[in-house]
Structure 1
Amino acid sequence: MSSPAVPSVLFVCVHNAGRSQMAAAFLARLGGDRVEVRSAGSAPADIVNPAVVEAMKEVGIDVSAEVPKVLTVEAVQASDVVITMGCGDACPYFPGKQYLDWQLDDPASQGVDAVRPIRDQIEQRIRGLLAELGIETAA
């Protein structure tokens, strides 16, 4: 199990097929083993959005094997930081957690050209989050 010194971050969106998958992948890549990463959706899709898979592949990150996961109370309880992306009231609230809501366009039903700017916004927010958590980014 992870040591208490490693912060745990949970990314939540509705389908867990786009924004939260990209955010989790960037955090895992840039944070390495210095952060624990989870993602989930309030109404998960069957697969990760193919345009998201393609856009992430362009920056050297393969999310094609990821599977959208359902949001559980346990996942929220086990996380230090919960970052929501358009899931509204579907996200459970627990006192003592840090909650952030990232307003990002939904890549659902969008082509890769529309996904790229969302991907790039997410990467910048992840870099900012790592700085806030005092975690140096991996190469």
Structure 2
Amino acid sequence: MPLPAPAPADRRRALEAAAARLASEFTGTFNTQTVERLLHSSEHELAATATVQTYVPLLAERFARQRLQALARTEGRVDDGRPVVLFLCVHNAGRSQMALGLLRELAGNRVIGWSGGSLPAGGLNGVVVEAMAERDIDISEEFPKPWTDEVVRAADVVVTMGCGEACPVLPGKRYEEWALGDPDGQELDQVRSVRDEIEQRVRRLLHELGVPPTS
């Protein structure tokens, strides 16, 4: 049975607490108005597709944090020298999430990784989560999200996987199209095959970025 949506007052309090945490975290980088604008925009985007509304305020905080980090990079407020890789697919529930999980596993904090979708699903593909768990990579806490302008602009490499003309194209960006099978509706064996192919591509990309995989 689906969890009930939080009462409006509870949701408002959760968003107010999230705004306070983010404002404190980004003190000296962004003002409160910018933080609140991106938080409420993130909440609106995720509420439109989430199957479990209870967790939307928490996920909106995480999504807004990513967007604020991206905006800080595009505006030159942060430059730590780390490359940023963005993985895009249609639902952000399978291929792009596997790629992100593998990037983080193989590169640690030497590379920043994000993901998004053109039509985000309501939740992750359970078989994809299972296939990644076989490799001791837990992606169960991730969630489908749309890409946003500041996230695309902050990326050094944009990897697209089947989103076609819906994928954003900005001049000066490095783009790669990875032609991969869609794990949606597939059995575990087929998803394993997609996972392993993604791993090989992620390893090659890391070498090209000058960030040798950790294992």
Which residue in 1 is equivalent to 2:178?
A: 102
Quick one: which amino acid aligns to residue 88 of structure 1?
G
Matched, 1:43 2:119: yes
Quick one: which amino acid aligns to residue 47 of structure 1?
G
TM-score by length of 2: 0.63
Q: Which has the larger radius of gyration?
A: 2
Alignment deviations for residues 85-120 of structure 1 (CA, whole Å, 9 cap, x no partner): 000011111111100000000001112111000000
Tell me how far apart the structure 2 counterparts of residues 127 and 13 of structure 1 sit (CA, whole Å).
19
TM-score by length of 1: 0.96
Quick one: which amino acid aligns to residue 194 of structure 2?
I
Alignment deviations for residues 36-67 of structure 1 (CA, whole Å, 9 cap, x no partner): 00000000001110000000000010111110
Which residue in 2 is equivalent to 1:29?
A: 105
SS of residue paired to 2:196: helix
Could you list the runs of 5+ residues in structure 2 that have no partner in the other structure? 1-68, 70-77
Please give the residue correspondences for 1:1-40 in structure 2 after superposition, counting only pairs within 5 Å. Answer: 3-40=79-116
Greater strand share, structure number: 1
Tell me how far apart the structure 2 counterparts of residues 113 and 106 of structure 1 sit (CA, whole Å).
13
Q: CA deviation at 1:4?
A: 4.1
SS of residue paired to 1:76: helix
Quick one: which amino acid aligns to residue 136 of structure 2?
G
Please give the residue correspondences for 1:45-64 in structure 2 after superposition, counting only pairs within 5 Å. Answer: 45-64=121-140
Q: CA deviation at 1:138?
A: 1.7
Root mean square deviation, CA, Å: 1.1
Which residue in 2 is equivalent to 1:118?
A: 194
Tell me how far apart the structure 2 counterparts of residues 78 and 56 of structure 1 sit (CA, whole Å).
27
Tell me how far apart the structure 1 counterparts of residues 200 and 86 of structure 2 sit (CA, whole Å).
17
Tell me how far apart the structure 2 counterparts of residues 136 and 111 of structure 1 sit (CA, whole Å).
32
SS of residue paired to 1:138: coil
Question: Taking CA–CA contacts closer than 8 Å with sequence separation of 6 or more, which of the two structures ends up with the larger relative contact order?
Answer: 1
Matched, 1:84 2:160: yes
Quick one: which amino acid aligns to residue 170 of structure 2?
F
Q: CA deviation at 1:3?
A: 3.2
Q: Which moved more, 1:17-26 or 1:107-116?
A: 107-116
Tell me how far apart the structure 2 counterparts of residues 112 and 65 of structure 1 sit (CA, whole Å).
20
Which residue in 2 is equivalent to 1:93?
A: 169
Alignment deviations for residues 6-55 of structure 1 (CA, whole Å, 9 cap, x no partner): 00000000000000000000001111111000000000001110000000
